Structure 1
């Protein structure tokens, strides 16, 4: 579980920005195809016709990839998954940028002034939209920019006329300006994403322990409930509070109690999987969303492990502090009720654990 605010934390949101506009990808592709067709009709050049066909294939692939991302966007929650989509976007974008650049270079070498003007218009229009969308990943944006502008710069310089040297200078200036714009946009957007995440984190997480709060937990529980209804993916909810926590506050003070809560949060996080959600609901009340589970025994085992982990002695400024945890577990399968009913079942099992002697877990009876 990542708790910092480094690049990995914002990666899913940054990748999402790249995939925000399917229309612009399609429109720029359509503009390139239309330009190729106009030049082909005028000059009858088969290379231009092949370029049009290749552009259609690449743009179709990019649009399909974008559609696939939007279908899977809810699952893009980790840096590892986000990087897979980043690579897919980068490959499609690089292929299109290369076609734009090579097409412009070819027309500069062999086309008429009218054809050159058309090609230059598309080549200069493409980076504008690309930079606005891809600057969040500056290395990718710089690569795409270089692929689009470097070939026509080389082509213009190789012709050796003053007019083409001026054209090469224009393209080079545009390239350098694009690199600077990318740098500025990347920094600005990253700062805003970090700020947005910090505001969101404060609204959805507990300041003391850093764990999700009640609202966040219920939102994640609702997601798991939807997946249960749609796919039959089972999960479990564990509700627990600390035994004898009031004694800790009364004996050692509330500051010591806060440190105990932080240590308990760390211990429980070390007990669960990365897919599970540990939340502080308030006071000394906690909850775990164990998602997914295969066998019911998995939930029973985790309940016992949490009770055992919390019952181990804690140290606060050299003093030995003892607390325990009473854990109530409810296993959610096809017969699970509403979210409120699920939480009530977990609480009922928690009360049963307390009644049975505390420091243990109990499972809500399945119907």
Structure 2
């Protein structure tokens, strides 16, 4: 999960599956057309290799391994298969079959992976494409040795960067910078797919700011926004490694972590007590293979309201 930028895991798999299906179809047609015309298919040996690699990638995507693992293996197959097609081309114009798919790979990488990882991937694809141009029997203009890498890198930065920005905006809260509801659902699903195979547990914690309405009413909405941002920063800094924090709306935050409540309960309680503004907290846990985020949040909300009632009752008794 650390390599993925935030794209929904299953969406990333579906996009990659469509890409591999397209490669299989187009490269397969090229091989068939060459054979129908009476050729030996030698010039399209690379396309045959690409078809084989694409089919293996599709098989991998159809397995029940973790989404991130399936995605990484299939993407590695596609990233090496595409440049290899150019190794055997005898006609310069055939090298376009290398450039366009490589540009699409760079766009996908920039969208699906962290920026630093995506740039390394695009650089690797560019180098492989350049090597294929130099080694292939097809004579190409010297300018192409600059054009191909430039197009691949630029497509990743321009179009892939735009897609990555849209994904980030769709999954993150614009005020606090933490995940929004959709982003938490993505992170929850990613954790669930990993932990479910081990029959492990997931823990959800809900935090609700005490007296937030009074802050808005007495100090104004800018002060309320500052309070929410400070709480989001504090939660992000204090949560266990691998946990995800998001804002559900208003003054309610949620954290999701791998492991039982016994591992995280004290940590979450300490976090709630140390936030810049007093907050109540509620918790829930469930087996990863049976967990549903909505149900766990509802259970954590019930625990939060119960804890708040008990605390207020205790405070009232002390005053009396």
TM-score of the aligned structures, taking structure 2 as reference length: 0.68
Residue 237 of structure 2 corresponds to 270
Give how far 1:288 is off: 1.0
Q: Within 5 A, what are the aligned runs for 1:1-367?
A: 9=5, 20-24=19-23, 28=27, 60-61=52-53, 63-65=55-57, 67-68=59-60, 74-75=67-68, 89-93=78-82, 97-98=86-87, 100=88, 120-121=90-91, 124-125=93-94, 127-135=95-103, 136=106, 138-152=122-136, 171-173=139-141, 176-177=143-144, 179-180=146-147, 183-184=150-151, 186-218=153-185, 220-221=187-188, 232-290=199-257, 292-293=258-259, 295-310=260-275, 314=276, 323-333=277-287, 338-357=292-311
Equivalent-residue separation in structure 2 for 1:8 and 1:39 (angstroms): 43
Give how far 1:349 is off: 0.6
SS in 1 for 2:280: strand
Equivalent-residue separation in structure 1 for 2:80 and 2:149 (angstroms): 19
TM-score of the aligned structures, taking structure 1 as reference length: 0.61
Q: What's the CA shift string for 1:243-279, capped at 9, x where partnerless?
A: 2334433454332221121111111111224532211
Taking a change above 3 Å as real, the CA distance of residues 271 and 250 of structure 1, as seen in their structure-2 partners, is same
Taking a change above 3 Å as real, the CA distance of residues 85 and 340 of structure 1, as seen in their structure-2 partners, is closer
Taking a change above 3 Å as real, the CA distance of residues 336 and 152 of structure 1, as seen in their structure-2 partners, is closer
Larger radius of gyration: 1
Higher relative contact order (CA 8 A, sep 6+): 2
Give how far 1:186 is off: 4.1
Give how far 1:68 is off: 2.5
Taking a change above 3 Å as real, the CA distance of residues 65 and 274 of structure 1, as seen in their structure-2 partners, is farther
Equivalent-residue separation in structure 1 for 2:170 and 2:12 (angstroms): 21
Report the more deviating stretch, 32-41 or 62-71: 32-41
Equivalent-residue separation in structure 2 for 1:226 and 1:15 (angstroms): 14
Whether the aligned pair in 2 keeps the contact of 1:239 and 1:327 (CA below 8 Å) is yes
Q: What's the CA shift string for 1:13-32, capped at 9, x where partnerless?
A: 99997772245257537856
Question: Unpaired segments of 5 or more residues in structure 2?
Answer: 107-120, 313-320
Give how far 1:73 is off: 7.9
Equivalent-residue separation in structure 1 for 2:289 and 2:309 (angstroms): 26
Give how far 1:227 is off: 6.6
Equivalences, count? 291
Q: What's the CA shift string for 1:110-130, capped at 9, x where partnerless?
A: xxxxxxxxxx24x742x2222
Taking a change above 3 Å as real, the CA distance of residues 275 and 129 of structure 1, as seen in their structure-2 partners, is farther
Equivalent-residue separation in structure 2 for 1:177 and 1:198 (angstroms): 30
Question: Unpaired segments of 5 or more residues in structure 1?
Answer: 42-47, 105-119, 154-167, 315-322, 359-367
Equivalent-residue separation in structure 2 for 1:181 and 1:202 (angstroms): 31
Equivalent-residue separation in structure 2 for 1:221 and 1:152 (angstroms): 47
